[in-house]
Structure 1
């Protein structure tokens, strides 16, 4: 399973660790993903989404119905 938010599409960022001696090694910044269950009245069931914490705020703002509709419009299974 990829480290990708189903709502915002947040993916890992890549860059370098830079030591005191200025040596560089590759690293990645993963999004803060949470697996969360939501009840969707129009579907009559709960759906489990892998969302970032920013995605949770988006769901609070716009509502689970519109977010699920947008995910389904993209062709993802919910």
Structure 2
């Protein structure tokens, strides 16, 4: 499983876990990644993407055809 969103490129961030006494230890802020299958009319097939919640909203707003064309241009997926 990829650790980044294929649409937005979001990855896990890092920061500090801060205790009550203010001791700091490193931690990770994970991304809300989902495996989603979309029907792409321009390709005539389904594709499975690893997208974040923000990436799903981006697909809903811009349309799957536009997003897939951009992913093909960036070589994230094959046509």
TM-score for the superposition, normalised by structure 2: 0.93
* Counterparts of 1:75 and 1:36, CA distance in 2: 19
Matched residues, number: 78
* Counterparts of 1:73 and 1:54, CA distance in 2: 21
Q: Secondary structure at the match of 1:2?
A: coil
Q: Which residue of 1 aligns with 2:19?
A: 19
List structure 1 segments (4+ residues) > 6 angstroms apart after TM superposition.
none
TM-score for the superposition, normalised by structure 1: 0.94
Q: CA RMSD in A?
A: 1.0
Q: Which residue of 2 aligns with 1:74?
A: 74
Asked if the contact 2:2–2:50 (Cα under 8 Å) also holds between the matched residues in 1, the reply is no
**Structure 1, unpaired ranges of 5+:** none
